[in-house]
Structure 1
Amino acid sequence: MKKVWILTSVFVLVLSLAAAGAQEKKAQGTSERPKVVKERTAVMTATVEAIDLEKRLVTLKGPKGEKKTIAVGPEARNLPQLKVGDLVTVKYYESMAVEVVKPGTASGAGQASTIMRAKPGERPGGSAMRVATVMATVTAIDKKAGTLTLKGPEGNLVTAKAENPKNLDKVKVGDELMITLTEALAISVEPAQKK
């Protein structure tokens, strides 16, 4: 549980810095129980430049010509089907939902993950998703600085700057927050285009 809270603490601080491409959805739920959702999606496409099957290394070339060599783990069982020139697309999604819940609400804290990979013989690819939920208590609100301090399940404190300071009017010291983090990654490979 400590890892989840540390991850949440870092995630809260990162998202509060107004990450590019992030959106804040309108508060969902009632005015008594506000909810804020932050989302970010990124898509990257690269071309396979080189493959070392023995060392399980793949060199990718990005759209601006930048090259990156990555180590591919044994879970990518269809690596031998990858060819130079193939187009690799990586889609990444992350979201954070923060909801004020009634004190004493049964803790939805925990985490779950799922991994799907291509079947043997299929084109390389796969997806992974992880959802982590933690409960935190608001211990301080500084409207002038635009920050709030949260106490996690292990007793640790994290102070985060609110991207939208108006949201601080919707919470008070003692409120319990349910913070849900979702990450999803999908990798697909398309064959090289014939010239």
Structure 2
Amino acid sequence: MTTDRLSPVFASRPVLTARSLIRTLLAAVVITSLSTACTTQQPEEPPKPLRADVSEAESTMEGVPGGVVIRTARIDATVKSIDYDTRSVTLEDDEGGEVAINVGPEAINFDEIDRGDRVTLVYTEETVVYLRPLEDLPDDGVSAVSARAMEGQKPEGFAAGVIEMTAVVTGVDLESHTAILLFPDGTSREVPVRDDVELNQDQVGQEVVIQKTAAISLSVEGPDGPE
């Protein structure tokens, strides 16, 4: 059993990492957009990375376990250079950050990209955590949807997915104000509980539900805006 101070489920922070969901979403984007099948090149002196504008909003109700956290990251860049033969492209932001990528053949509209095009990537993640009485534990699962631009248009894609995980409260520590959660894979985790949430033995046996919804979109426009 581990103590995870970064994942207080009762404090609305998720205990579920987004790694598997991100892999699912990126796999969809690989089929639908410029970021498809790309691998970062390794220059001798790594350039300054692209800047991402990140925001976070949290919503909780006093005395109620759980809550909602929404995180958004946006990257805006310009196509600095492109090589159609090697299918490589270098993106640069307004602050001089840049990244060079190789784009696989799945990007059917790669030839529509031009030097000077504007690229926008937005990733949004919403995590909802709540407590409910013990019922039959549903299977954890992932669902996803994606869309892409028509052939001959500038690359554009969208992918979204939902993942849900449940855990059971197997114990509470009133002195340290923490709860012990048992996950379907058999692992246990001790998490802190918000100070405004009353903790008692009646919560033992209840479910903690963690629902994570994530969406990623990518668009490419000419320097003068949409065509």
TM-score (norm. length: structure 1) = 0.76
Pairs aligned (count):
176
AA in 2 matched with 1:188: S
User: Identity, % of aligned pairs?
Assistant: 31
1:166 aligns with 2:200: no
Unaligned runs of 5+ in 1: 1-6, 12-19
Check whether the contact 2:171–2:181 (CA below 8 A) recurs between aligned residues: yes
CA distance in 1, matches of 2:151, 2:224: 23
CA distances 1:41-89 after superposition (whole Å, capped 9, x unpaired): 1111001111223333221102211111123333321111011111101
CA distance in 1, matches of 2:114, 2:140: 43
Aligned to 1:80, what secondary structure does the other structure show?
helix
1:10 aligns with 2:35: no
Counterpart selection for 2:68 from 26, 30, 37: 37
Check whether the contact 1:141–1:168 (CA below 8 A) recurs between aligned residues: no
CA distance in 1, matches of 2:104, 2:74: 21
Counterpart selection for 1:22 from 48, 56, 61: 56
CA distance in 1, matches of 2:58, 2:174: 19
Between 85-94 and 34-43, report the one with greater CA deviation: 34-43
Match of 2:182 in 1: 151
AA in 1 matched with 2:210: I
CA distance in 2, matches of 1:56, 1:48: 13
1:185 aligns with 2:184: no
CA distance in 2, matches of 1:115, 1:144: 47
Match of 1:111 in 2: 142
The RMSD of aligned alpha carbons is 2.9
Check whether the contact 1:39–1:94 (CA below 8 A) recurs between aligned residues: yes
TM-score (norm. length: structure 2) = 0.66
CA distance in 1, matches of 2:99, 2:57: 29
Aligned to 2:151, what secondary structure does the other structure show?
coil
106 and 10 in structure 1: CA distance in 2 versus 1, 3 angstrom threshold:
closer
Between 168-177 and 54-63, report the one with greater CA deviation: 168-177
**In the TM superposition, what is the alpha-carbon distance from 1:134 to its structure 2 partner?**
1.0
1:82 aligns with 2:116: no
Match of 2:168 in 1: 137
CA distance in 2, matches of 1:174, 1:130: 29
CA distance in 2, matches of 1:52, 1:146: 58
Return the structure number with greater relative CO, CA threshold 8 A, min gap 6.
2
127 and 41 in structure 1: CA distance in 2 versus 1, 3 angstrom threshold:
same
CA distances 1:93-126 after superposition (whole Å, capped 9, x unpaired): 0111111122115626311011211111122110
Check whether the contact 1:35–1:98 (CA below 8 A) recurs between aligned residues: yes
CA distance in 2, matches of 1:78, 1:134: 37
CA distance in 1, matches of 2:218, 2:165: 28
**In the TM superposition, what is the alpha-carbon distance from 1:91 to its structure 2 partner?**
0.8
184 and 156 in structure 1: CA distance in 2 versus 1, 3 angstrom threshold:
same
